[in-house]
Amino acid sequence: MAFSLGFHIIFAAIGMTMPFFMSAAHYRYLKTKDSVYLALTKMWMKGVAILFAVGAVSGTVLSFELGLLWPGFMRDAGAIIGMPFSWEGTAFFLEAIAIGLFLYGWNRMRPWAHWATGLAVGVSGFVSGIFVVAANGWMNTPAGFDWVDGVARNVDPVAAMFNRSWLHQSVHMQLAALQAVGFAVGGIHAGLYLRGRAPDLNLKALKIAMAFGAAASLAQPLAGHFAGQRVAELQPAKLAAIEGLFETRAQAPLTLGGLPDVKTRTMHGGLEIPGLLSVLAHNDPNAVVIGLDRFPESDWPPVAIVHVAFQVMVGLGSGLALLGGLYFWYLGRGTFPRWFLRALVVCVPAGMIAIEAGWVVTEVGRQPWIIYGVLRTKEAVTPVPGMVYHFYLFLVLYGGLALATAWLLWRQIAAAGKNPETP
């Protein structure tokens, strides 16, 4: 399951943001009638088509897998947290209709109506993403039911959907998707541009993708800070694991880097900035930040993994924000230096890695719970024997799918670089 999700999160991120890039290029084409934009739209459209199909099938697997792997979880959770999934299903349906219209609607629909179907793909995909993240938020801050003698009572699906984590998690995730995909796409086109392939097209592509990516990367630190404050309040054990804070204390320091050691309950290495964690979590350098000592060790998440994953996420996010700022600076000056374009090429995978790391932080940071404070992961897992085979099956399936998709996209990029006017 974790593996399927780890795979799906990347494809979902691309699937819900690429259509916006495509629509932006299409918009420019309809406005300017510049055929380069048309070529770009069709090029991105193929990527969208491939990724939507892969995202749709991997999403189907996930909807089944919830029940296949976590029947104990779903027996309790389905009625409570089904609501975002029902809306997500609706949005997904509309997305599938819209993509059919967009992909095959060239010359069969009025141009602006056709453009609108492309935009509808993006909007419905983006909204689906918010619903799914809301469901994940519920696992972090369960709401909308009372847990009485091992049975859920007073079920309120609306309260469950709009749980206390849905807003900060979805803002953070949607920005992350825009940021990661914007930089990945921008970086690929920067690479093609540097090689001198179809410079006009690739520069235009770079500008569209980076407009999204750079803007999101500048907004993300704010969203991340907002998310951090909510986690400090709602899931103090997760925050303590993120920061490797073993002791509850005032003027808590922020540790950059370093490796927490659970046995000795100390942090090895890393750069401590006194009081900064208290400021970040509670806006006050003297505020008390709860440490892991307030929780029994059986309720600790794997501290080292969570801490390191968080450092990776924030480090990459900060780097991208810096590049995002530089992007607007150079855009204003009207020219991009080669070293900057090379840096963008290097950063192609950065946003994706940051998404995976962030996902590790939120999921591993919640352990040993699957529904925080209510249900432990080991109580929820399927009774079906031979889960190892299940795991291998999906490893092979998803591994194969990921490789095939990557290979196919690579062929698209290679072909587009060679033959830019007739993609």
Partner 1 sequence: MIEILICFIGVSLLLYVVLGGSDYGAGILELLPAGAHRQRQTEIINRAMGPVWEANHMWLILIVVILFMGFPPIFTTLMVALHVPMLALLVGVVVRGAVFTFRHYDAIQTPRSQRVYTWLFGLSSLWTAFWLGVIAASLNRGVIDPAAPTVWAAYFAPWWGAYPLAVGMFITCIFVFLAAVYLVGETSDPNLQARFQRHAQVFNGAVIVSGGGVFLASLGEQESLPAAFLAQPLTIVAMALATLLFVALWFSLKHRQTMLTRAIAAGQVALILIGWCLLYAPNALVTRAGPMSFYAQAAPAATLRQLVLALLVGSVFIFPSLYYLFRVFKLGGRPAPSSA
For the CB of residue 369, give the shortest distance to partner 1 in the complex, in Å.
Answer: 20
3-state secondary structure of 256: strand
For the CB of residue 2, give the shortest distance to partner 1 in the complex, in Å.
Answer: 17
Comparison of 117 and 278: residue with beta carbon closer to partner 1: 117
Which residues lie closer than 8 Å to 274 by C-beta, 6 or more apart?
Answer: 251, 253
For the CB of residue 6, give the shortest distance to partner 1 in the complex, in Å.
Answer: 16
Comparison of 74 and 259: residue with beta carbon closer to partner 1: 74
Strands 146-148 and 151-153: antiparallel
- 240, β-bridge pairs: none
Comparison of 288 and 415: residue with beta carbon closer to partner 1: 415
Among 19, 242, 215, which Cα is nearest to 124's? 19
Comparison of 27 and 398: residue with beta carbon closer to partner 1: 398
Q: DSSP letters of 336-384?
A: --HHHHHHHHHTTTHHHHHHHHHHHHHHHTTTTEEETTTEEHHHHS---
Which residues lie closer than 8 Å to 358 by C-beta, 6 or more apart?
Answer: 172, 173, 176, 309, 313
Comparison of 155 and 287: residue with beta carbon closer to partner 1: 155
For the CB of residue 68, give the shortest distance to partner 1 in the complex, in Å.
Answer: 5
Comparison of 79 and 279: residue with beta carbon closer to partner 1: 79
- 399 to 6, 89, 394: CA distances (angstroms): 11, 26, 8
Comparison of 49 and 219: residue with beta carbon closer to partner 1: 49
For the CB of residue 66, give the shortest distance to partner 1 in the complex, in Å.
Answer: 7
For the CB of residue 242, give the shortest distance to partner 1 in the complex, in Å.
Answer: 32
Comparison of 120 and 281: residue with beta carbon closer to partner 1: 120
For the CB of residue 9, give the shortest distance to partner 1 in the complex, in Å.
Answer: 17
For 242, phi and psi rounded to 5 degrees?
A: -55, -45
Tokens of 300: 């600790």
For the CB of residue 343, give the shortest distance to partner 1 in the complex, in Å.
Answer: 28
109: which DSSP letter?
S
Tokens of 298: 């059986």
For the CB of residue 57, give the shortest distance to partner 1 in the complex, in Å.
Answer: 4
CB atoms near residue 145 (< 10 Å): 21
Q: How far is Cα 155 from Cα 415, in angstroms, rounded to an integer?
A: 54
Q: Which residues of 266-275 are buried (b: 16+ CB within 10 A; e: fewer)?
A: ebeebeeeeb
H-run or E-run covering 118: helix 111-140
CB atoms near residue 398 (< 10 Å): 17
Q: How far is Cα 335 from Cα 155, in angstroms, rounded to an integer?
A: 58
Comparison of 56 and 348: residue with beta carbon closer to partner 1: 56
Residue recorded with tokens 């199909």: 53
Comparison of 74 and 194: residue with beta carbon closer to partner 1: 74
For the CB of residue 98, give the shortest distance to partner 1 in the complex, in Å.
Answer: 7
Q: DSSP letters of 181-226?
A: HHHHHHHHHHHHHHTTSSHHHHHHHHHHHHHHHHHHHHHHHHHHHH
